[in-house]
A and B are shown apart, each in its own frame.
Chain A
Amino acid sequence: MPLSRLVGARVKRREDPRLVRGLAHYVDDVRLPDTLHVAILRSPHAHARIRSIRVEEASKAPGVVSVVTGIDIRDSIGPVPVVAQNPTLRVPLHTVLAVDKVCYVGDGVAAVVAQDSYAAQDALDLIQVDYEPLPVVSDPEKALAPGSPVIHSEWPDNVAFRWTLKQGNLAKAFRDAYRIVKQHLVHQRLAPIAIEGRGVLARYLPGEKELTVWSSTQIPHLLKTQLSIMLRQPENLVRVIAPEVGGAFGSKLNVYAEEALVAYLSRTLNRPVKWIEERRENFQATIHGRGQVGDVEIAVKKDGTILGLQYRAIADIGAYHQLLTPGIPPLTGLMLSGAYKIPCISMEVTGVFTNKMSTDAYRGAGRPEATYVVERIIDRVAQELGIDPVKIRQKNFPQRRDFPFKTATGLIYDSGNYRAALSKALKLAGYEKLRKEQKRLRNQGRYLGIGLSTYVEISGMGPSAAMPAGGWESGTVRVEPTGKVTVLTGTSPHGQGQETSFAQIVADELGVDLDDITVVHGDTAVVTSGIGTFGSRATAVGGTAVLQAATKVKEKARKIAANILEANPVDLVFSGGKFAVKGVPKKGITIQQIALEAHLATNLPKRMEPGLSATSVFEPSNFTFPFGTHICVVEVDPKSGEVTVKKYIAVDDCGKVINPLLVDGQIHGGIAQGIGQALWEGVVYDENGQLLTGSLMDYALPKAKDLPRLELARTETPTPVNPLGAKGVGESGTIGSTPAVVNAVVDALAPFGVVHIDMPLMPEKIWRLCRSKDAADRRG
């Protein structure tokens, strides 16, 4: 009987029935009796000294149980951690609530604990803070200029760190170049905007001395360790549960002040305490992404061959580091080779403190910046040299035989076939026809633009040596006495669907029904160890750990089966979910039957431990490098400046696909976010550090009507890094799409002499560019 292969099949998600019925439990849906509610008073100033805080009136307000300020708790809670390292790193003391000064709008100043959230909110208005405003610097370039206000007075300037990478003889490359093309680029700040904001519920049991924290997080295990350190609470008495998590995109790959604060309050008050973030707080006090400005220079030969690339950037850190803040810009540097052979590369980045919320990992985390730099500048080169953007890319691709391909930045790209993905995308788009159409429409005064992006990204994070807090992942497979299979994973999915995809992996390996498998995640008391879900790593690293655990279980089951069947283990075949002696398939027994024997433990091989479970911790030997080609077709109306995305083709190669339905979903969502950055999104602070985009009315998230129907296709180049062959797909869509859209718009506006526009490509910006050209033409 051939076993139906689930890996590779479009299996419907097993998570969904509870979600579509509204029966799932996000943090705010977890209800404990006697829970108190927290509201946080946040600074309205971007930079100010706190002269005094008066909380007496608030403390007496109806329903209020406690009010705490930074001074009250500074000796009880350690600083908000940063784990990314850099020898030049300056780490300002980042207290859970501000003590003597606030450094950004939204900086926590005091917390009210009350019987319900309304009472807590009411009491916030009764807290009186006397602020002495200080000079503000919100622009990272100005923050570096001499004479700028200095945010952290323990250092002479606002430099947070410097990071450089230099490989090859760049001076020679630039000397030998036929042409050097330069471009200034802005990667604007973005707000991740998970539709569920952050939320924390903590329960301290004074008898057991046990602290349980439910948090909307991507990293329950790392959070457990960090909370234990911050609160000086023994780690074996901390349990973190990531319940249903309503999206994250990197914004919950962190350890936040509120997580420690709420846990501390519960431990102090001996009551469950809950804090649910409001959207306004989410804009002010949840990490932002991107926030990089830079100058790229590329040296090329006359035929378009790239000789060298140099990128100098300033990274806008915000007022403090969060968990991985200084680790993000180096990812840009590492990926500056893009999908091309570039013999010499250098990057210098300066991290700069500003009076704003911290930047950190947002979907792509440093790699969208790299892809944008490379894909934008290669289009500029194509334009300058009069080479088709397709041809210049093909010319510089590494060939199939070049893999594993070592980049000048020191990475080893595992596997790839960049030409195949590009060819497929060109064919699907009808590229030649589109170019003709573009020409035809231009003659009618209509502006079609065709943009390409042939990206490669770094995924499957990653070998521990390259990660700030471990790059491995754990997986456990346990066959219960009744034959049901429990899978534990250290990854912590929040929409990716690993309850389904990991069950597919185990179902195939053990030959059991999908319905007999349950995948458990997100509870540190149940899943003994783990890292989490981020960096497109869950399947490549966590899925492999699960697969390896299943293989161990199968091997143990083989020995038990051999004992029962009175045969040599090597003489057994595993087929159709059964072990049987070669040539005697009828007498086979299933792993589920073997599980009962394993637990009864009366008929086991000598010296074998009872039970049928195994754990594997997978340490990958390298990252993985998904790639692909995105083609975007836009029409720009020069009269209104409006951009319409007419067509979008994405050919992505994420290695072996476990569940195509889920992969499509990841690509769709990723592209929507990438288009969002290109066209609409941007966190804006004014020069006083006031957040102008503090609500969903001011920050433009893509809506259903704004997006075209995306046309997806795939090539499949497995990675040799893990036995699944899977690379990862969580960030490809975002990384690949942004430059494709910008390249398309710039292409559309070529007749107006436009060679670059900074994101977001708002209609006003485009309208001004077109208008100035019109005016110039009239002046003639």
Chain B
Amino acid sequence: MAATRRITININGVSTSHEVEPRLLLVHYIRDMVGLTGTHVGCETSVCGACTVMLNGAAIKSCTVLAVQADGEEVLTIEGLAQGEQLHPLQEAFWECHGLQCGYCTPGMILSAYQLLLRLPRPTEKEIRHGIEGNLCRCTGYQHIVDAVQQAAGQMRARR
């Protein structure tokens, strides 16, 4: 076992600090050390996107990023998206449009969509489908997810 290292990561606006092995994956840091279990592991190979979180404003797959690489950085997980009890428009829209069934891919899917909408506030269906192609969902066939992202885009534009 290699020597541990102390890292500090701001997660959802809260500073967290732990001694970690350099090989510890960011997703395991978030889930097992910080205890935020909304970020899921689906493939361990950055294909399925279930582990997607925002690292300094960019969606990344936390199953293939080391926790030490996020030292001193800012992470947003699904738990940080709602404002208290007030759901984010994306969460609201996924609910409204039935954009989830088993819910396992949902946190990662929502955060990928979140990044997409930051970049493209008015995405076409094609852009949405392309934008979430790094996130696999086995339940929904994606159609209601696409609808949800479109609906959320409208909500987010209206908010601005």
Contacts and interface: CB of A to CB of B under 8 A. Distances in A.
A733 B107 CA distance: 25
A526 interface: no
Interface string B4-47: 00000000000000000101100000011001111111111101
Given A26-B104, A701-B136, A665 B37 contact: no
Contact of A279 (B23, B43, B102): B43
Contacts of B36: 22
B120 interface: no
Nearest to A670: B141
Given A17-B87, A279-B42, A194 B100 contact: no
A704 B109 CA distance: 11
Interface string B90-118: 01001110101111111100100000000
A494 interface: yes
Contact of B98 (A13, A248, A672, A705): A13
B95 A705 contact: no
A74 interface: no
Given A12-B96, A22-B38, A704-B146, A668 B44 contact: no
Interface stretch (A93-101, A124-132, A239-247, A540-548): A239-247
A703 B128 CA distance: 12
A494 B102 CA distance: 6
A246 B135 CA distance: 15
Contacts of B128: 704
Nearest to A13: B98
Given A29-B37, A668-B143, A704-B146, A194 B95 contact: no
A516 B21 CA distance: 48
Interface string A232-275: 00000000000011111100000000000000000000000000
Interface string A467-490: 000000000000000000000000
A21 interface: yes
B99 to A, nearest CB: 8
A400 interface: no
Contact of B104 (A116, A118, A196, A497): A196
Contacts of B39: 22
B140 A246 contact: no
B136 A22 contact: no
B136 A696 contact: yes
Contact of B87 (A21, A24, A249, A662): A21
A195 B21 contact: no
**Which interface residue of A116, A668, A695, A704 has the most chain B CB atoms within 10 A?**
A704
B45 A697 contact: yes
Contacts of A733: 141
A195 B141 contact: no
Nearest to A666: B101
Interface string A700-733: 0111110101100000000000000000000001
Given A16-B103, A20-B87, A118-B21, A278 B94 contact: no
B91 A671 contact: no
A470 B62 CA distance: 43
A710 B141 contact: yes
A697 B64 CA distance: 15
**Which interface residue of B37, B43, B50, B139 has the most chain A CB atoms within 10 A?**
B139
Interface in B45-89: 45, 47-48, 50, 77-79, 81-82, 87
Contacts of A496: 101
A28 interface: yes
Given A22-B77, A697-B45, A13 B143 contact: no
- Interface residue range, chain A: 35 or more
Contacts of A12: 95-96, 98
Nearest to A496: B101
Given A195-B50, A665-B101, A704-B128, A23 B138 contact: no
Contacts of A193: 138
A600 interface: no
Nearest to B45: A695
Given A21-B38, A697-B45, A673 B138 contact: yes
A756 B98 CA distance: 37
Contacts of A576: none
A157 interface: no
A210 interface: no
B109 to A, nearest CB: 9
Contacts of A23: 38, 79
A660 to B, nearest CB: 10
Nearest to A61: B1
B140 A668 contact: yes
Contacts of A279: 42-45, 48
B84 to A, nearest CB: 11
A664 interface: yes
A20 B136 contact: no
A497 B145 CA distance: 16
A495 B82 CA distance: 22
B130 interface: yes
Given A704-B142, A704-B146, A195 B98 contact: no
Given A22-B79, A195-B136, A495 B102 contact: yes
Contacts of A26: 37, 40, 104
A718 B36 CA distance: 45
Nearest to B125: A709
B107 A703 contact: no
B38 A695 contact: no
A525 interface: no
Nearest to B143: A668
A21 B78 contact: yes
B153 interface: no
B114 to A, nearest CB: 12
A661 interface: yes
Contacts of B126: 705
Contacts of B21: 118
A246 B40 contact: yes
B144 interface: yes
Contact of A20 (B77, B106, B139): B106
Interface string A143-165: 00000000000000000000000
A206 interface: no
A15 interface: yes
Given A20-B91, A279-B42, 16 more contacts: A16-B94, A17-B95, A20-B95, A20-B107, A21-B38, A26-B104, A280-B44, A664-B98, A665-B144, A668-B141, A669-B141, A695-B47, A696-B47, A704-B128, A705-B129, A705-B133
5 contacts: A31-B37, A244-B102, A669-B138, A697-B47, A704-B145
Question: Would you list the 7 A-B pairs with minimal beta carbon distance, nearest first?
Answer: A22-B38, A246-B104, A19-B103, A495-B102, A668-B141, A22-B78, A672-B141
Interface of A: 12-13, 15-17, 19-26, 28-29, 31, 62, 116, 118, 193-197, 244-249, 276, 278-280, 494-497, 661-662, 664-665, 668-673, 695-697, 701-705, 707, 709-710, 733
